[in-house]
Amino acid sequence: MTAVAAVRARATTLPAWVWLGAIVVVSSGVRIALAHRVVTPWIMVDELIYSELAKSLASHGEFLVRGVPSNGYGFVYPALIAPAFGLFGSVPHAYAVAKGINGVVMSLAAIPTYLLARRLVEPVPALVAAALSVAVPSMLFTGMLMTENVFYPVFLLTTLVLVVTLERPTPLRQVLLLALCGFAFATRAQAVAFVPAVLVAPVLHGWIERDLPARLRRFTPLYGIVGGLAVLALAATAARGRSPLSLLGAYRAATSSAYSLGTVLHYVLWHVAELDLYVGVLPFAALLALWFAPRVASPAARAYAAATLPLVVFFLVEVAAFASTESQRIEERNDFYLMPLLLIALVAVAATRRPALVAALVAGVLPVALPFAKFVNPSAVSDTFGLLPWWWVQDQGIHFGALRLVALASGLAAGIAFLVVPRLALAALVGLYFVVASVVIENGRHGIHQAAVGSLFAGIRVADPDWIDRAVGRDAHVAFVWHYAGETRPLWNNEFFNRSVGDVYTVDGPDPADGGLPETPVRERRDGTLVDGRGRPPHVGYAVSYTDIAGRPVARDAKLGLALYRVHGPLVVLTRVRGLYPNDTWSGRRVTYRRLRCHGGHLSVRLGTDEQLFETAQVVTARVAGRVVGRISVPPGEQPTLDVPLRADPQHTCTVVFTMSQLRVPRGTRDTRRLGAHFYALDFRR
């Protein structure tokens, strides 16, 4: 016997559970290794919120965000990663462990996928489906602190119990099914779509089996419990004077939008087409073939069809309706949980000729419905992994219009393959496609590795991201004084990596993109003292700020212009810069720098422009009391530093006025501002 034959013989004698365990272990190892390349949270503010909930649960036994109770988010995922933040004081270490937990938990999705597939096929194809379920590119979410990591296996486990309950609807199974739906909802409010799917599935199964009245009688416990819970929920919310929609927690905002039927239908079509394209068309065609002719399938496949059809429909409609008003993009990260249902169909469904032909045609043509030009953009990096490989294709010089034709040709080719190629060979092709797509999504020009690196670069430039904790200790109380005049990553990233950062004081109003995080608005008095809405100055021990504040500097992220001060008193802003646009650090014609309690010194200003905006060097002139004290030429693409000597007036205030020699309006954009120079940092030294 040859070595290969011996290995094959040995492999065939191993129990299926050994292979299933190996799939979970290998997947966990791969995901943990790849998660190390995600150097910081970058899907903000979601990752910040879930990490805050986990930290507070580990430290205080309750769910807090910035010290304020928060009940609007599911508790399952924060509770899952809380041990990482409880066991490790260093946030970078806890972050690495939390991502390791993600890798293991999300890889467990292979188990319910296998058990679902085993109801339809033998162990080998079921193992193939399990392996494909942890090869989907969306497994890259293990590098992010997001509920997707736990909702993926929970969704599949709930689906498994739904199928099992349809096959034999005992009261115990029906109760277990509803309990799992509740657990899924506690994980992610999106799971509310399980309720209509679970209620419709028995009706659909009864229609397929032609025994609808008898079958519905067997589901009396399920319908009775759901009806009773609905009445109790309505009564409880009414008794507390709340709307029933309050049960949706942080997702309630999605119910206040005015939905357009036409727009929702468009988004449903686009989500269906993108899901079809993401799985490589073949699995989508297989599930369609089963739905088109469920009565010719086996009893187990008929139950599978009755369960999967309402699940796919209700979840896709829910996601598409949300996307049509809240994000205006394809929210694939809210529907990729459906993919194993398609993958199981690929290895398990042997459709008759006519349904297979129709399914192949529909699945093959659907990709042409995708408006790539509308959805292939930076938002796809976090929300629509399936479009990133097509973005790579577009980068090779194929226009978006032609890209739709390429997608159509690829879809039709896959449809033909679905009709003539054996199923396990098709599964191998899908697996290869997943691997290639994952490489592009993880490491491509528009991939998540670059997104994480860019987020860290935008938020922290020092070697140790927990530099604040290292300077004052994790138990110190550090306030963050935030002027929302630019990128919010410095606030979010430093808040994430440093346990000592607590209260956030906002000087220029709330950040419109902060997800409603708790913060304290303050205003600046003439003497620079910050006061809250009641006119009282907050007293803090330490503070981090872009602008100089009264206190002793303790540590600094010089490249970002952030400094940590020992204050032990009220917050007093010493510097104020006017003339910079509120959304970034670009200037107009004139910028004024003012510093209180000033007795002279020097100001170092790091400046820059944009190669796409300026063809020649920008000249920046600094004046003190009308006299020129500095001038510098800023070539396009460079970041020189202008050193300005300061002179105090009788009120001990130093003022510098900068003027730009030329202004430019960005071309090819909707930005109509007249821009002068980019003020990257203004550093005072005595």
Residue 190's pLDDT band (cuts 50, 70, 90): very high
Q: Is the pLDDT of residue 523 over 80?
A: yes
Mean pLDDT for 618-630 is 95
CA dist list (Å): 95 to 52, 219, 583: 12, 45, 30
Window from 189-193, 390-394, 480-484 with minimum mean pLDDT: 480-484
Instruction: Give the model confidence (pLDDT) of 596-613 as tens digits.
Output: 999 999 999 999 998 888
State the pLDDT at residue 560. 83
Which of the pair, 644 or 507, is modelled with greater confidence?
Answer: 644
- DSSP letters, 498-554, are -TTEEEEEESS---TTSTT---EE-EE-TTSBEE-TTSPPPEEEEEEESS-BSSEEE
State the pLDDT at residue 526. 85
Q: Is the pLDDT of residue 283 over 60?
A: yes
578-685: which CATH number, 2.30.110.10, 3.40.50.740, 2.60.120.260, 3.30.70.580? 2.60.120.260
Q: Is 649 exposed, middle or buried (0-12, 13-18, 19+ CB in 10 A)?
A: exposed
Q: Is the pLDDT of residue 252 over 60?
A: no
Domain range list for the chain: 257-449, 460-573, 578-685
What is the token pair recorded at 218? 């067997």
State the pLDDT at residue 350. 76
Q: Is the pLDDT of residue 509 over 90?
A: no
Q: Is the pLDDT of residue 351 over 80?
A: no
Mean pLDDT for 525-549 is 91
Which residues does 78 contact at the CB level (< 8 Å), separation at least 6? 50, 53, 54, 57, 63
- DSSP letters, 338-352, are GHHHHHHHHHH----
* Kind and range of the H or E run holding 681: strand 678-685
Q: Is the pLDDT of residue 676 over 90?
A: yes
Yes or no: say if 191 and 184 are a contact pair by the CB < 8 Å rule: yes
Instruction: Report how far residue 315's alpha carbon sits from residue 585's, in angstroms, rounded to the nearest whole number.
Output: 42
Which of the pair, 242 or 575, is modelled with greater confidence?
Answer: 575
Strand partners, 520: 505
State the pLDDT at residue 364. 96
Q: Is the pLDDT of residue 680 over 80?
A: yes
> Cis omega before residue 45 (within 30°)?
yes
- The CA-CA-CA angle for residues 475, 481, 484, to 5°, reads 135
Instruction: Report how far residue 48's alpha carbon sits from residue 516's, in angstroms, rounded to the nearest whole number.
Output: 12
* Kind and range of the H or E run holding 95: helix 91-107
Instruction: Give the model confidence (pLDDT) of 201-210 as tens digits.
Output: 999 999 999 9
Instruction: Give the model confidence (pLDDT) of 646-668 as tens digits.
Output: 999 999 999 999 999 999 998 87
- DSSP letters, 622-673, are EEETTEEEEEEEE-TT---EEEEEE-B-TTS-EEEEEEES--BPPTTSS---
Exposed e or buried b for every residue in 229-263, given b needs 16+ CB within 10 A? eeeeeeeeeeeeeeeeeebbbebeebeeeeeeeee
Mean pLDDT for 255-274 is 88
